[in-house]
Amino acid sequence: MKKRIAFLALLGVVAAHPAAAHHSTTMFDHTKVVSIAGTVKEVHWTNPHVAIFVYGSLAAGGEPTLWLMEMTSPGNLVRAGGWSRTAVKPGDKVTVDFAPLRDGKRGGALKKITIAETGKFYTADIRAQERANLEEQPAK
């Protein structure tokens, strides 16, 4: 319980700010891909955007710290990326490729997450999976 509250405090959980929901993603620089390696701390499997918090270090080096990864909705991830609510779990050692926030804050739009132990990876590009009957065809 204490640990939970401490973690929420770490995330900056405070009074609600009037914003959320459906938005463009140009606050992320999609021309860049940054990589981190670390441990999953929290998975928010929620609409309209799933979020994963990873405590890790940049592949380029540096001290480990907490990063926020944003994605599309649970429904879209299930259909287009083969995700499930438990595909990525707190405690998993992972590497993450993401488009970073332009403002330099520690967040990004997740492109690919790979689970170190199994090598299994998940992507989150719904535009790459715009086909009928996805389950009957090999994923792109």
Partner 1 sequence: MRYVALLIAISATVWAAEPEKPIINPPPAARDWADLAKLPDWSGVWNPKITDQDAQARTNMPPWNAKAAALVAHQLAEEKAGRPPPLFVNCLPEAMPAWMLVTHNAMEILFTPGRVTLLGESDGNRLRRIYTDGRPHPDDPDPTFHGHSIGRWEGDTLVVDTVGVVPQAYIAISEAAGVPNNGEMRIAERIYLASKDILHVELEITAPRVLTKPWKTTRIYFRQRARKFDIVEGVCLEGYFAPGTDKDGNAIFVPVKHDVGGNRVPPE
Which residue ranges make up the site for partner 1 (CB under 8 A)? 1, 4-5, 8, 10-27, 29, 42, 44, 46-49, 51, 53, 65-68, 70, 72-76, 78-79, 101-102, 105-107, 126-127, 130-136
What minimum distance in Å lies between the beta carbon of 59 and partner 1?
A: 18
Return the number of the residue (72 or 123) whose C-beta is nearest partner 1: 72
Q: Is 34 exposed, middle or buried (0-12, 13-18, 19+ CB in 10 A)?
A: middle
Kindly state the tokens that stand for 97. Answer: 């490729």
We find the least distance from the C-beta atom of residue 118 to partner 1, in angstroms, to be: 22
Structure tokens at 61: 């080096």
- DSSP code for 137: S
Shortest distance, CB of residue 140 to partner 1, whole angstroms?
Answer: 13
Closer to partner 1 by Cβ: residue 21 or 60? 21
33: how many CB neighbours lie within 10 A of its CB? Answer: 13
CB of 21 to partner 1, least distance (A): 5
Nearer to partner 1, 72 or 114 (CB): 72
Asked if residue 71 lies in contact with residue 85, where contact means CB atoms within 8 angstroms, the answer is no
Q: Which CB atom, from 17 or from 117, has the smaller least distance to partner 1?
A: 17
- Tokens encoding 73: 């909705």
Give, in degrees to the nearest 5, the angle at Cα 33 between 81 and 79: 10
